Amino acid sequence: MMKQKKFYKKLNWIFYSIIIGVFLDKKKKILGLIISSIIFGIWHVIFGWGPLKAVNMFFVGLVFGGIYLKYGFKGSILCHYANNFMSLIGLGLLF
């Protein structure tokens, strides 16, 4: 479980810090936000969520990316964890 958390943290760092960061340097943060959100959506399809989930995750990626731009990596990762936690509660897997 600990290895999975480290991998997940690195993956989020790739989406937010590297992809958006490259475009921030070039002053094209909106383009970076869109590209990272597309990859974020595709990534959820790769892990078996299905093509419709990609559309949903694209918009979630825009939100998380916007949070990254305003509050940094810790803010975006906190929101991502909170979102996952609420999903588990909604599915009845917790509590």
| Domain residue ranges of the chain, discontinuous segments joined by + | 11-90
Copy the structure tokens of residue 28: 């094209």
pLDDT, residue 39, reads 86
pLDDT, residue 67, reads 92
Distance CA 82, CA 77 (A): 8
Give yes or no for a contact between 19 and 68, defined as CB atoms under 8 angstroms apart.
Answer: no
The segments of the chain whose pLDDT lies below 70 read: 1-18, 21, 24-26, 95
Residue 39's contacts (CB-CB under 8 Å, 6 or more residues apart) are 15, 19, 61
pLDDT, residue 6, reads 66
Distance CA 29, CA 49 (A): 28
Distance CA 12, CA 2 (A): 16
